């Protein structure tokens, strides 16, 4: 029997730890959502629930804890004396409040160490009695009166006692016509109790008519309790606690009116059914399950209230960001014509790396000419010496301008305008989004869009990298089309043929000793040059059609639009992550709850 109990305790300890871990996981998730106002209170509740579960584990090997609560004059102390089997164990009387501190009744003082540590020595009175047989397996707690003039001092003590209780006994006075008010009064305490065993006791039933008690009072009272407490009650017992004292000391003028008394059933349930070792372990496991279920239900309830507003806010944020990114990319696209020289230079630089042969040499030369620009052309132009001198001076400035254009095209010129377009688009829609977030109980500071916008530097870098990558791909694609093998053969073949023909005539006459005149070489050079320039001109026409700056930018923009769907800078901000975390909290807790139920299976006995 002892081995079975130890095994059951070990298994239950493991199960309880999984429940505590589930609560801590929720606590961690809530800590990541500081802008969601309900999360602060829920985070504290999670911490308190985890602490309460730790206390449950600490007392797996402790005795059954039975706590009595009830309004002043309900007969708690009398019932406790009856349960313990010792008349004077708890003080009774008409002075209110009869109980000013929590009174812990146990067989030995050491049994109450944990309760004293939790409640505080100043709030606990310990009464021991080895003569009380019921205290050999149990600990009874008589709580302070709840509706006395010292109520505010008593409430914290009662809350702490409930956290350590296995069974909650709610005592009502059958003679009090306001007992329904007392049901409502006790409701918050019953809801706070995380155990499953709640028992209702209507005391002093011997003062009422038996038929009315059975047929009218108990059925109505039972229905009212279910409606007011919204939780199951083990059973409602009609008892006369005084009848079960050693010396009832009845008032001679008011003897019992009948013998209907369910006290024996109450005693058997507490000290028989509930006090079995297996039940105690299971009950504390159920307390842990109830704590976890309560916390997860609280989280789901809070989130369900805010889910519509937060879901709509997240949808609006996604749409606003999509529009903002589209505006930014469109702005970059509009700036491309201003980068005409830079894009053209980059294209010919790529072509120069791919082409070979005479046309390839001319393409490489043209790439360098584009960098120097019209300044070199002005310097080489015949005519006015002053104009030639200015051309020589402007070579440097034109070179710098061309290099700057190349750099602009590589870095994504127009990023500042793109950022402004992105922010303006977002600013137009943010007030509506912010109001949805506030309606979803996010902190009012979300109305300030500056606190949620991604950093300008990071956004500019990402936009620039995105646009530059798309433009590079467009340039590479165009360069590949304009550098095909057959195209190179087609353009180089006429020039190579002319060079071969001139070379063959020159070599033949050289070896025959018949030297050719200079006019031949001049005419040959001009012919080859004309053919080369003509081929290069035709190539430029084709390059303009395939790889013109506007065409390249359009191709880059079309490719970029496909990638823009995955570019969500706003979605990666702390605010968006918190909104998403809140929306997923409820689903995660529900899934974890179902998985745990499947893993738990039948509870150990």
pTM for the model stands at: 0.52
Contact indicator for 240, 267 with CB cutoff of 8 Å? no
Residues 162 and 266 in one domain: yes
Helix, coil or strand: residue 209 = coil
- Residue 2, domain member (yes or no): no
- The two beta strands, 102-106 and 167-173, are unpaired
Statement to judge: residues 403 and 315 lie in one domain: yes
| Residues contacting residue 155 through CB under 8 Å, at least 6 positions apart | 146
Query: What does the mean pLDDT of the chain come to?
Result: 77
Answer yes or no: do 544 and 396 share one domain: yes
Higher pLDDT, 351 or 562: 351
| Helices and strands in the chain, H and E counts | 20, 7
Q: Compute the distance between CA of residue 224 and CA of residue 344 in angstroms, rounded to an integer.
A: 86
* 283-325 tens-digit pLDDT: 667 777 878 888 888 888 899 999 999 999 988 888 887 787 7
Looking at the structure, tell me whether residues 234 and 376 fall in a common domain. no
412 — pLDDT class (breaks 50, 70, 90): very low
Residue 6 has what pLDDT?
56
Q: How confident is the model at residue 602 (pLDDT cuts 50, 70, 90)?
A: very low
Residues 350 and 486 reside in one and the same domain: yes
| Together in a domain, 111 and 187 | yes
Among 275, 293, 326, the domain-final residue is 275
The one-character DSSP state at 237 is E
| Res. 212 pLDDT band, cuts 50 70 90 | confident
Q: Which of the residue ranges 21-30, 200-209, 450-459, 475-484 would you say has the lowest mean pLDDT? A: 450-459
Q: Which two tokens stand for residue 567?
A: 């570019």
pLDDT exceeds cutoff 70 at 359: yes
The residue with tokens 């001009």 is 526
d(CA 324, CA 318): 10
In a domain? residue 23: no
Residue 494 reports pLDDT greater than 80: yes
Q: Which residues contact 253 (CB under 8 A, 6 or more apart)?
A: none
Q: Say if 353 falls within a structural domain.
A: yes
CA–CA dist 307, 302 (Å, integer): 9
**Residue 309 confidence (pLDDT):** 93
Residue 57 lies in a domain: no
Does 600 map to a domain? Answer: no
Categorize the per-residue pLDDT at 333 as very low, low, confident or very high, splitting at 50, 70 and 90. low
Asked if 89 and 130 touch (Cβ cutoff 8 Å), the reply is no
Same domain for 270 and 326 = no
Query: In this structure, what CATH number is given to the domain that contains residue 238?
Result: 3.40.50.300
Where does the pLDDT of residue 271 fall: very low under 50, low under 70, confident under 90, or very high at 90 and above? confident
Instruction: Out of 112-116, 198-202, 405-409, 455-459, give the one with best mean pLDDT.
Output: 198-202
Identify whether 252 is part of a domain.
Answer: yes
Please check whether residue 197 is in contact with residue 234, taking contact to mean a CB–CB distance below 8 angstroms: yes
| Assigned domain for 46 exists | no
Mean pLDDT of 472-491: 89
Boundaries of domain holding 326: 306-588
Residues 194 and 127 in one domain: yes
Indicate the number of domains in the chain: 2
Q: What is the pLDDT of residue 561?
A: 63
Residue 27 lies in a domain: no
Res 439 pLDDT > 90: yes
603 secondary structure, DSSP code: P
Please give the pLDDT value at position 96.
42
> pLDDT category, 218, cuts 50, 70, 90?
confident
Contact between 158 and 146 under an 8 Å Cβ cutoff? The reply is yes
Is residue 410 predicted with pLDDT exceeding 80? no
Q: Which two tokens stand for residue 459?
A: 């956004």
Q: Which residues pair with 127 in a beta bridge?
A: 105
521: enclosing H helix or E strand: helix 518-547
Residue 247 and residue 349 in one domain: no
Give pLDDT, residue 355: 92
Which of 254, 275, 296 is where one domain is finished?
A: 275
Q: Is the pLDDT of residue 597 over 80?
A: no
Residue 384 has pLDDT above 80, yes or no: no
Do 407 and 527 fall into the same domain?
Answer: yes
264 and 321 share one domain? no
CB 412 within 8 A of CB 461: no
Q: Please state, in angstroms and rounded to a whole number, the distance separating the CA atoms of residues 34 and 193.
A: 29
Contact by Cβ (8 Å): 491, 355: no
Same domain, 250 and 328: no
């Amino acid at each position: 029997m002892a081995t079975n109990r130890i095994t059951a305790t070990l298994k239950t300890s493991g199960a309880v730890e999984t429940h505590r871990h589930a609560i801590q996981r929720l606590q961690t998730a809530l800590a990541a959502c500081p802008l969601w106002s309900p999360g602060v209170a829920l985070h504290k509740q999670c911490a308190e629930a985890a602490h309460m579960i730790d206390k449950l584990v600490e007392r797996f090997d402790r005795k059954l804890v039975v706590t009595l609560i009830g309004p002043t004059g309900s007969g708690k102390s009398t019932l406790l004396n009856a349960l313990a089997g010792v008349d004077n164990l708890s003080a009774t009387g008409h002075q209110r409040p009869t109980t000013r501190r929590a009174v812990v009744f146990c067989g030995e003082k050491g049994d109450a160490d944990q309760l004293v540590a939790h409640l505080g020595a100043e709030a606990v009175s310990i009464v021991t009695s080895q003569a009380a047989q019921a205290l050999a397996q149990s600990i009874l707690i008589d709580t302070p009166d709840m509706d006395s003039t010292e109520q505010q001092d008593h409430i914290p003590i009662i809350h702490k006692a409930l956290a350590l209780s296995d069974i909650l006994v709610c005592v009502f006075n059958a003679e009090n016509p306001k007992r329904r008010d007392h049901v409502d009064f006790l409701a918050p305490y019953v809801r706070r109790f995380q155990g499953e065993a709640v028992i209702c006791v209507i005391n002093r039933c011997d003062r009422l008519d038996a038929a009315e008690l059975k047929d009218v009072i108990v059925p109505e009272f039972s229905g009212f309790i279910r409606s007011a407490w919204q939780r199951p009650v083990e059973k409602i017992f009609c008892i006369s606690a005084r009848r079960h004292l050693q010396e009832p000391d009845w008032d001679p003028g008011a003897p019992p009116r009948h013998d209907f008394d369910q006290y024996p059933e109450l005693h058997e349930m507490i000290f028989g059914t509930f006090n079995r070792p297996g039940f105690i372990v299971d009950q504390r496991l159920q307390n842990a399950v109830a704590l976890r279920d309560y916390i997860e239900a609280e989280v789901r309830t809070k989130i369900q209230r805010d889910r519509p507003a937060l879901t709509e806010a997240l949808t609006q944020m996604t749409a606003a960001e999509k529009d903002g990114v589209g505006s930014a990319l469109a702005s970059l696209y509009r700036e491309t014509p201003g980068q005409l020289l830079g894009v053209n230079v980059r294209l010919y630089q790529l072509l120069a790396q791919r082409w070979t042969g005479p046309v390839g040499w001319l393409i490489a030369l043209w790439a360098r000419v584009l960098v120097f620009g019209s300044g070199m052309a002005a310097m080489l132009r015949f005519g006015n010496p002053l104009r030639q001198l200015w051309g020589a001076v402007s070579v440097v400035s034109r070179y710098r301008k061309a290099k700057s254009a190349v750099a602009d095209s590589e870095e994504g010129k127009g990023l500042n305008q793109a950022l402004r377009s992105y922010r303006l688009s977002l600013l137009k829609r943010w007030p509506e989004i912010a109001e949805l977030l506030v309606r979803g109980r996010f902190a009012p500071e979300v109305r300030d869009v500056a606190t949620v916008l991604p950093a300008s530097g990071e956004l500019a870098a990402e936009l620039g990298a995105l646009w530059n990558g798309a433009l590079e791909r467009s340039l590479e694609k165009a360069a590949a089309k304009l550098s095909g093998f057959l195209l190179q053969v087609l353009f180089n073949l006429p020039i190579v043929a002319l060079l071969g023909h001139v070379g063959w005539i020159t070599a033949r006459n050289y070896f025959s000793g018949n030297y050719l005149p200079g006019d031949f070489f001049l005419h040959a050079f001009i012919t080859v040059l004309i053919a080369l320039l003509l081929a290069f001109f035709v190539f430029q026409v084709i390059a303009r059609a395939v790889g013109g700056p506007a065409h390249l930018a359009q191709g880059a923009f079309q490719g970029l639009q496909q990638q823009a769907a995955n570019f969500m800078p706003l979605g990666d901000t702390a605010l968006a992550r918190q909104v998403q975390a809140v929306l997923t909290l409820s689903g995660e807790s529900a899934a974890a709850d179902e998985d745990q139920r499947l893993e738990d299976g039948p509870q150990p006995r």
